[in-house]
Amino acid sequence: MATHTTKTVILGGRGMLGSDLARACRQRGLEPAVLDLPECDITNSEHLQQAVSGAGLIINCAAYTNVDGAESEAELAYRVNAEAVGRLGTLAQHADIWVLHVSTDFIFDGRGDKPYVETDRPNPISTYGRSKLEGEQLLADSGCRHCILRVEWTYGAAGENFVTKLMRRAKAEGTLRVVDDQVGSPTATIEVSGAICELLKNRPEGLFHFAGAGYVSRYEMARFIVDQLSLDVEVVPCKTSDFQSPAARPLNSRFDCGKIQRLLSEPIEAWQVPLERFLRQL
């Protein structure tokens, strides 16, 4: 069991997920060590060694997340998302520290028509996805005690995401074209943080998928946001192929979250509920 004396280290602790997670930990009586750039660069071996030193458990939220940018900055994406994660695993294995690592739906190609379970074969179609998958594999190969939590379509107050980008575009444009062939589950970083805090109690090992309950297209999600905020803007459906972008996106990002649900004390909420709360706070 995690106790108040266990030093919890959050890498990437000032990012969108990390900041919500730090807050959730404090609400539960944990005082996490929040580490992030510039004082903690996980690609710097010395910084990583210092981060691991004295830790009771480590949560790695640090990542290179610019999906399109990764196509031209592949070396940096791999350094952050793969090599650093492997090094973290090796250090954790030597110190016998449990690591929770956050991964992504982008490790799948999105060509299937069913929700993905943890045993489905990954097949990333972008540099970002490939770098994240390699990070998962290097962490597993390190032999450390670890849990990999794959999340998707995340949004939160402390970062760029689909919700904030859509709202910015809605203010500037009268018509929004949004893809209706990408399907997944909008997932609030506050909800991810709550799930992580529950996992800290028993420190399970293995792979888990977490996302808001239910599925929706990006277009339907945009319509929901526009309706909730009563924005005077038209939302028009289109296809992913209508947009030229450096990186390919998985069309099916649906997760089956049955495995993690069995470890959680409450049912995962329907995606609309946290999103409505988030929009009200904005």
Positions annotated as catalytic residues are 128
CB 230 within 8 A of CB 223: no
Q: Which of 273, 69, 107, 101 is nearest to 186 (CA)?
A: 273
Q: Which amino acid is at 281?
A: Q
Of 258, 130, 277, 60, give the one whose Cα is nearest residue 190: 277
Q: Which of 212, 216, 259, 248 is nearest to 123 (CA)?
A: 248
Query: Residues 143, 52, 10, CA angle at the centre, nearest 5°?
Result: 100
